[in-house]
Amino acid sequence: MKELNRMKTSPMEWTIDLNSDLGESFGNYVMGQDEAILHHVTSANIACGYHAGDHNVMRQTVRMAAEQGVALGAHPGLPDLLGFGRRYLAVDPEDVFNMTVYQIGALQCFAALEGKRLQHVKPHGALYNMAGKESAVAQAIAEAVAAVDKELILFGLAGSQLVKAGEKAGLRVAREVFADRTVQSDGSLTPRSRPEAHIEDPEQAVCRVVRMVKEGKVTAVDGTEVDIEADTVCVHGDDPKALAFAKGLRKRLEEHGIGVCRIGER
């Protein structure tokens, strides 16, 4: 496994990447505040047309991210525009492998048009959650990423099957945590259907992220203390308060002595 440099980076002792899911508009439907959010994050996960996004939005988002110096990442999802890729679909490993390759390849071409390379791949929604727990899905994604480009970094939920599969495939992995989501005692994300799934208080979110980065701990919804490693923090771009949240989170992290930088710069 290729290790990431997670801490002890000058001039700040601790560093973290801030990522956001972007490029999720398509056709006449506009979602998020991508251009503004790109001023405050360091890595962009760009939808590749399956769960959201389209060819025009993909190119526009790649161009905007490149102009801001934000790292480019493919955000492959299940083929489910109606459900925004958040519904479970029965897919076999071959489906997962091929749809992942297809979506990475599409975004790679748009990156090349801007003279850029992709930094990472992060699955979206239900595909991400499935890969967190189902080893066959995780393996298919990791093998797809490795087959396309072994230099790509695979983003996966800290402690998940996806991270393990990425390591096994010889990829660099980035352990992801979420600023605005709670976790279960096993470290998995609390399902969105539950009322305690989201953290609405920005200060509470900041305190949780600071603790995850500095102490390697997070408190689950049942009070369990969970060990966790954090390389990158997700700020959801489709939330109406995403811009204010991203801006405030970055400011407060830096006030707590945590430098914010893209993983490739560490």
Asked if pLDDT for residue 1 goes beyond 80, the answer is: no
Asked if pLDDT for residue 93 goes beyond 90, the answer is: yes
Asked if pLDDT for residue 11 goes beyond 60, the answer is: no
The pLDDT tens digits for 187-245 are 888 888 888 888 878 888 888 889 999 999 999 988 999 999 999 999 876 666 778 88
Q: How far apart are CA 82 and CA 52, in angstroms?
A: 9
Class of domain 14-265: alpha beta
Q: How far apart are CA 266 and CA 6, in angstroms?
A: 8
The C-alpha R_g of the chain, in whole angstroms, comes to: 17
Helix, strand and coil content of the chain, in percent to the nearest 5, comes to 40, 20, 40
Which is nearest to 178 in space by CA: 44, 20, 61?
Answer: 20
- H/E stretch holding 127 reads helix 125-133
Hey, where are the domains in the chain?
Answer: 14-265
Which is nearest to 246 in space by CA: 63, 14, 34, 25?
Answer: 34
CB distance 133 to 30 below 8 Å:
no
End-to-end alpha carbon distance in the chain: 17
HSE-CB of 35 using CA atoms within 13 angstroms: 4
The pLDDT tens digits for 17-59 are 999 999 999 999 998 889 999 999 999 999 999 999 999 999 9
For residue 12, what are the contacts with CB-CB under 8 A and spacing of at least 6?
A: 254, 257, 258, 259
| 3-state class (DSSP) for residue 202 | helix
Q: How far apart are CA 94 and CA 27, in angstroms?
A: 29
Question: For the whole model, what pTM was predicted?
Answer: 0.91
- The encoded tokens of residue 46 equal 């760009």
- Beta strand pairing status for 153-157 and 172-178? parallel
CB distance 1 to 170 below 8 Å:
yes
Percent of the chain with pLDDT over 70: 93
Amino acid identity at 138: A
The pLDDT tens digits for 51-85 are 999 999 999 999 999 999 999 999 999 999 999 99
CB distance 262 to 70 below 8 Å:
yes
For residue 228, what are the contacts with CB-CB under 8 A and spacing of at least 6?
A: 158, 159, 175, 177, 187, 212, 216, 217, 218
**Helices and strands per DSSP (H, E), number in the chain:** 8, 10
Q: Please count the residues of the chain.
A: 266
Torsion over CA: 38, 43, 49, 55 (sign): positive
| 3-state class (DSSP) for residue 71 | strand
- Beta strand pairing status for 232-234 and 258-260? unpaired
